[in-house]
């Protein structure tokens, strides 16, 4: 623009004094351009792919090292050559850890290539790990054991224990199954071992085999997780441990003053990226070459003439949230300790009708009777309620509806079936009906689970102990489904039953089990 103005004047007659305003504009532009460039540069600093190599002090590559983006659940492990690749924020921090080596935090600083050396630590070998029916010093363990402590489990706020384990243990693969709140996970230890049989590892909670899922355990109740990855697990647990064993140890009370702890957080979620669909112009081009014979609806033609369009994803998506609150009281004296805690967790999604809620209650008592006898009690109880996990999947109508159809009429009422053809109007209703249920449908799964264990330990002579473990578990699950019939008058249309009658389904199931263990241990 400046050059165009200057070119309108011949150079001999050009007088800079006549362009005082222009000089001011140029001066302001000179000040603003660097700031604008800095802003654009900062905005462009998003996630980048970082490649790196992990070595020890001698320069040898280290396989199986855990690399996690600090403050997230995103993590990878280094391969046999010590190489890794991870998608991380340009200004983020990578937490690098491995058994037997001191953990390191490395800042990315917009680098796409990193070389990290880890230093071996001697004191790591003195740690005590859980191995089946007891504990051992890590240096005495011949099998492959990976431990994840309480600090690592609490680094990122997650809804379940499988989320806390993602990227935290080498050789442990955790994949979420489903996108609805409360979905479970597929866990594999050192890959898939069987084509037709189960590949799920054995889950042991406080020494007792646990038949429930990790989603029923409040992560705030867990003190540590130990993973037995090789044949030594089979030697302890038999064929049940063929796919590896996950040992979960919950928190217990400690002697001393009574402590009260409370933790809480609240998070908001938004859509990171919408599904790529045709824009209005591309949609028209597609319809014009389509062999569909019905043509455009009258509403579509009117909106085309008026230039009125609808982004159905924007109309449906809403902010989600997750919140977690935990209260624990613990203490003990005179050889007895106790711990009592309760938790509340709830998570919703960006789509209406889907959420997960969990209530948990935990209690432990450990008491010493004389110098030779110890007894204890542990109880874990949870109630989980999942809504919208069985048949609430509205993505197809959201992505297939015409951008030239509107969700509301001129009076502000929802249009029952804003589809682009007459055939779909008989079987597809407005997905916005999900935002106001009005008791038209129920999609709920309620799980009640209680897990209890009692132990007694007697020291017969020095180093020789007898221990009796009793475990009792009970679970009850109720699946509820109801879809109301479509209202012939159209006043309260049924989204899930257009032009159909109602349907209902209830399923109740319960499982229970017990465990009795007699353990004789000699440790000198």
Rounded to whole angstroms, how far apart are CA atoms 163 and 267? 16
Residue 478 exposed, middle or buried by CB count within 10 Å (0-12, 13-18, 19+): middle
The mean pLDDT of 445-468, rounded to a whole number, is: 94
Q: Is the per-residue pLDDT at 4 higher than 50?
A: no
The mean pLDDT of 465-487, rounded to a whole number, is: 94
Q: What pLDDT sits at residue 505?
A: 94
Rounded to whole angstroms, how far apart are CA atoms 169 and 248? 14
Rounded to whole angstroms, how far apart are CA atoms 234 and 240? 7
Q: Which residue has the higher pLDDT, 256 or 304?
A: 304
Q: Is the per-residue pLDDT at 39 higher than 70?
A: no
pLDDT in tens, 171-194: 788 877 777 887 777 888 877 877
Paired strand residues for 453:
378, 471
Q: What pLDDT sits at residue 40?
A: 42
Q: Is the per-residue pLDDT at 161 higher than 50?
A: yes
pLDDT in tens, 436-453: 888 889 999 999 999 999
Q: Is the per-residue pLDDT at 405 higher than 50?
A: yes
Q: Is the per-residue pLDDT at 169 higher than 90?
A: no
Give the chain's mean pLDDT: 83
pLDDT tier, 20 (very low <50, low <70, confident <90, very high otherwise): low
Task: Tell me the pairing of strands 245-250 and 202-205.
Answer: parallel
- CB–CB of 448/509 below 8 Å? no
| Range from 72-81, 105-114, 406-415 carrying the lowest mean pLDDT | 72-81
Percent of the chain residues past pLDDT 90, beyond the cut: 37
What is the dihedral sign for C-alpha 176, 483, 313, 355? negative
| Number of Cα atoms under 13 Å in the Cβ half of residue 292 | 16
Q: Which of 420, 422, 442 is nearest to 496 (CA)?
A: 442
The mean pLDDT of 270-289, rounded to a whole number, is: 91
Q: Which two tokens stand for residue 357?
A: 């809620």
Q: Is the per-residue pLDDT at 131 higher than 80?
A: no
Q: What pLDDT sits at residue 11?
A: 45
Q: What pLDDT sits at residue 234?
A: 66
Percent of the chain residues past pLDDT 70, beyond the cut: 86
pLDDT tier, 140 (very low <50, low <70, confident <90, very high otherwise): very low
The mean pLDDT of 41-60, rounded to a whole number, is: 77
pLDDT in tens, 244-268: 888 888 888 888 889 999 999 999 9
| Range from 195-204, 312-321, 389-398 carrying the lowest mean pLDDT | 195-204
pLDDT tier, 127 (very low <50, low <70, confident <90, very high otherwise): low
Q: Which two tokens stand for residue 217?
A: 């355990």
Q: How far is CA 215 from the centre of its chain?
A: 11
pLDDT tier, 143 (very low <50, low <70, confident <90, very high otherwise): low
Q: What pLDDT sits at residue 334?
A: 82
pLDDT tier, 479 (very low <50, low <70, confident <90, very high otherwise): very high
- CB–CB of 207/133 below 8 Å? yes
Q: What pLDDT sits at residue 484?
A: 93
């Amino acid at each position: 623009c400046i050059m165009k103005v200057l070119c309108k004047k011949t150079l001999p007659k050009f007088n800079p004094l006549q362009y005082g305003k222009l000089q001011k504009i140029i001066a302001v532009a000179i000040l603003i351009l660097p700031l604008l460039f800095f802003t654009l540069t900062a905005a462009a600093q998003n996630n980048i792919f970082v490649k790196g190599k992990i070595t020890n002090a001698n320069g040898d590559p280290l396989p199986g090292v855990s690399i996690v983006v600090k403050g997230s659940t995103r993590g990878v492990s280094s391969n046999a050559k010590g190489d890794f690749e991870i998608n991380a924020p340009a200004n983020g921090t990578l937490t690098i850890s491995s058994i037997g080596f001191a953990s390191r935090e490395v800042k990315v600083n917009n680098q796409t290539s990193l070389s990290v050396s880890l230093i071996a630590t001697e004191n790591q070998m003195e740690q005590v790990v859980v191995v089946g029916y007891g504990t051992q010093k890590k240096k005495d363990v011949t099998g492959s054991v990976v431990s994840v402590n309480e600090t690592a489990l609490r680094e990122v706020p997650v809804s379940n224990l499988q989320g806390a384990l993602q990227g935290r243990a080498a050789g442990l693969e955790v994949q979420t199954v489903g996108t609805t709140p409360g979905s479970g996970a597929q866990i594999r230890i050192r890959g898939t071992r069987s084509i037709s049989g189960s590949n799920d590892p054995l889950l042991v909670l406080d020494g007792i085999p646990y038949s429930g899922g990790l989603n029923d355990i409040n992560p705030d109740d867990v003190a540590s997780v130990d993973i037995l990855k090789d044949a030594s697990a089979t030697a302890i647990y038999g064929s049940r441990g063929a796919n590896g064993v996950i040992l979960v140890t919950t928190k217990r009370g400690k002697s001393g003053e009574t402590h009260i702890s409370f933790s809480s957080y609240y998070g908001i979620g938004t859509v990171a990226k919408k599904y790529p669909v045709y824009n209005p112009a591309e949609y028209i081009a597609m319809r014009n070459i389509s062999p569909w014979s019905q043509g455009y609806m009258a509403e579509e033609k009117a909106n085309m003439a008026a230039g009125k369009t609808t982004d159905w994803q924007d109309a449906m998506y809403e902010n989600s949230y997750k919140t977690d609150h935990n209260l624990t009281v613990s203490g003990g004296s005179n050889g007895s300790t106790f711990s009592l805690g309760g938790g509340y967790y709830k998570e919703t999604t960006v789509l209406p009708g889907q959420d997960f809620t969990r209530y948990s209650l935990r209690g432990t008592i450990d008491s010493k009777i004389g110098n030779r006898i110890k007894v204890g009690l542990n109880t874990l109880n949870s109630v989980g309620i999942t809504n919208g996990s069985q048949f609430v999947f509205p993505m197809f109508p959201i992505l297939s509806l015409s951008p030239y159809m509107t969700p509301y009429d001129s009076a502000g009422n929802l249009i029952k079936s804003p589809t682009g053809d007459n055939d779909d109007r008989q079987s597809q209703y407005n997905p916005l009906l999900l935002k106001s249920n009005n008791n038209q449908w129920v999609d709920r799964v309620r799980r009640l689970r209680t897990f209890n264990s009692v132990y007694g330990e007697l020291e017969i002579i020095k180093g020789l102990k007898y221990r009796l473990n009793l475990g009792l578990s009970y679970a009850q699950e109720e699946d509820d489904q109801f879809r109301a019939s479509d209202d012939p008058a159209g006043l309260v249309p049924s989204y899930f039953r257009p032009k159909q009658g109602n349907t209902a389904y209830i399923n109740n199931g319960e499982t229970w089990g017990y465990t009795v263990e007699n353990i004789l241990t000699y440790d000198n």
